[in-house]
Structure 1
Amino acid sequence: MNLRRIFPAAALLAMTATVTACGVQESGLETGGKTPKQVTMNEQQAIDRAEEIIHQAVDGMSPAPTLERIGPAPVGPCIARDDHGPDDRVQVTVVYKLTGVPGREAQKLVRQARDAWLKRGHKYNTSGEADWPGPFPAIYMRTEPDDFWMDAMTGVVDRAKGEGLASLKVTSPCFLPPGKSSGSTAADPVALEESQADDPARRRALGHSSRVYDVLRAGSAPTRPGEGLSTVRDEAGASVHHAWSTESLPEDVRVRALARAQAYFQREGWIVRHVPTREGTPAVVARHPEEGTIAQVAASTTGAVRVAVTTPANGPASADV
């Protein structure tokens, strides 16, 4: 069963807007253990390029949709740090939903986005297409040589009628903005704060992390830059974020660990989907339907499994651990 099919449009769009999962994109990396790319750009250049890629897909669409931006401010801290880059690198993520057209046209918009991107010379990423023959297709692609990643997908609005809601997302590689030093530890413009010990959201995030640790059955690695517990504040509000990694694992052990994580989330009633990765093993992304907590479990280029749990700071007290 393709896990995308169980997602309602609202949940799919909310997860699309989330910062790229730890290890999912591994932005700025060459494959095969080569030297990481040295990406040079400023924030506005990254935003402009992301918007350009979006409009490459949209401008020729018929029927013509209306672009509606979703999610927080587009510039945030770089999460994929397997190349041990400086902690003040950032990433741009631009997400739009395509509105103003009948729901039955959503699948056509996704297919038109793919055709437009292919015409521009953009490439499929590892996973290529998902659900392409069905009513709710998805496409995952990247640009060359600047290595922006983009998704076009259809969230389910009415399965019986085949109606959906199309969305487009473009994520830049990680980059160090001009004027930032490689020794800095802060990542603007998103503010990171130490969470209070008695914070219910903190207990919720740590509780979910603990249960993921149990099902992975692998020891944890020492905390790396960008990992640990923090409160993330942006224009959309505040969330508690907990990130950590396992020790390096053999490939077959990583695959089984990810399968156990997926089975756990499904058993507990989370909404689960796969996200393609450059490592070939899809990352597991799960959303708690009541709390709004999002958990992301992904294989890393280091051989570890990386885990990130993000929960709204104002989530329900009943979910406290």
Structure 2
Amino acid sequence: MNEQQAVDRAEEIIRQAVDTMSPRPTLERTGPESVGPCIARDDSRSDDRLQVTLFYKLTGVPGSEAAKLVLQARDAWLKQGYKYNSSDEADMSGPFPWVSMRTEPDDFWMEGITGVLDRAKGEGLATLKVRSPCFRPPAEDKASGTAAGTVSGTASAAPAAFETPSAGDPATRRALGHSSRIYDVLQAGSAPTQPGEGLSTVRDESGASVHHAWSTVPLPEDERAAAVGRAQGYFRSAGWRVRPMPTPAGAPAFVAGHPEERTVAQVAASATGAVRVAVTTPAARPAPAEA
């Protein structure tokens, strides 16, 4: 797993919790997606791996509804087959419930917490937190070479290595050009670059590709769906092969492939309220596909 995969999976877990909530809250991210050292040792010291942690407040609903939202998050995660880390039935039945759970088999940990705003009135603020398993930083993957892809003496594919591409590289211009056209059709401003986003050259067993990932500013649900729909219409009219991407909560998402460039674009509504965009194109322009 790399950083982007960890962020995407953590967002999916958040989305699974909130997409069926009633009343429907607004997600307010607390700080950027936090990529920090992995705390995995028994003595609580960090090692050289990293973790992603997402932390959201559920706002826009009365404080009296906070407890209900945390319980709904717990029930949604249980329906996904996720397990309790710990459970206190007395606490869960009280005015300020808290739950700790984990996914299986990928071992993401999450919490639903009811912070106290007014104890006498039973008013609180619901928050959700998801923490990924540990993963190696890209520099370590690159330095470890084939050793990183060997388990018990059996060779496997090495993790992808990330590099900064040249601004004048044709593949870089191609990726940024496609991103620019997507930006135009989404008709939404871009958000500050988050961890795992930006421009990079990815090298793995299939070769090298230039990858550009970015997000829009948060949008209301109807505007978010309309923006994804406009992007899907643009790709179809431009002759790309378009395929909807199934998501656990039914959020609008699709992947589009250019028939000649072998460029792939992904556009998906996010649990943060943003639309996430990723464009990947081969570092060397391939020959046109045969008819």
Aligned residues: 175
Greater gyration radius = 2
Contact 1:25 1:277 in 2 (8 A): no
Alpha-carbon distance in 2 for matches of 1:266, 1:274: 12
Give the structure 2 partner of residue 281 of structure 1. Answer: 251
User: Closer, same or farther in 2 for the Cα pair 1:30/1:221, shift >3 Å?
Assistant: closer
Give the structure 1 partner of residue 35 of structure 2. Answer: 86
Give the structure 2 partner of residue 307 of structure 1. Answer: 277
Query: Which structure carries more relative contact order (alpha carbon 8 Å, separation 6+)?
Result: 1
Alpha-carbon distance in 2 for matches of 1:22, 1:283: 16
Q: Provide the secondary structure at the position in 2 that maps to 1:31.
A: helix
Q: Cα RMSD over matched residues?
A: 3.6
User: Closer, same or farther in 2 for the Cα pair 1:270/1:299, shift >3 Å?
Assistant: same
Alignment of 1:1-321 (within 5 A): 23=8, 26=11, 29=14, 31-32=16-17, 84-86=33-35, 145-146=103-104, 175-177=133-135, 186=139, 188=141, 189-316=159-286
User: Closer, same or farther in 2 for the Cα pair 1:202/1:21, shift >3 Å?
Assistant: farther
Q: Which runs of 5+ in 1 are unaligned?
A: 1-18, 35-81, 92-121, 125-143, 149-172
User: Closer, same or farther in 2 for the Cα pair 1:33/1:85, shift >3 Å?
Assistant: farther
User: Closer, same or farther in 2 for the Cα pair 1:24/1:288, shift >3 Å?
Assistant: farther
1:315 CA drift (Å) = 1.4
Contact 2:33 2:194 in 1 (8 A): no
Contact 1:291 1:311 in 2 (8 A): yes
Give the structure 2 partner of residue 11 of structure 1. Answer: none
Contact 1:28 1:174 in 2 (8 A): no
1:237 CA drift (Å) = 0.4
Alpha-carbon distance in 1 for matches of 2:167, 2:33: 29
User: Closer, same or farther in 2 for the Cα pair 1:185/1:317, shift >3 Å?
Assistant: same
> Identity, % of aligned pairs?
56
Q: In structure 2, what residue type is equivalent to 1:229?
A: L
Give the TM-score, by structure 2 length. 0.52
Q: Which runs of 5+ in 2 are unaligned?
A: 20-30, 37-48, 53-78, 82-101, 107-130, 142-158
Contact 1:89 1:174 in 2 (8 A): no
Q: In structure 1, what residue type is equivalent to 2:17?
A: G
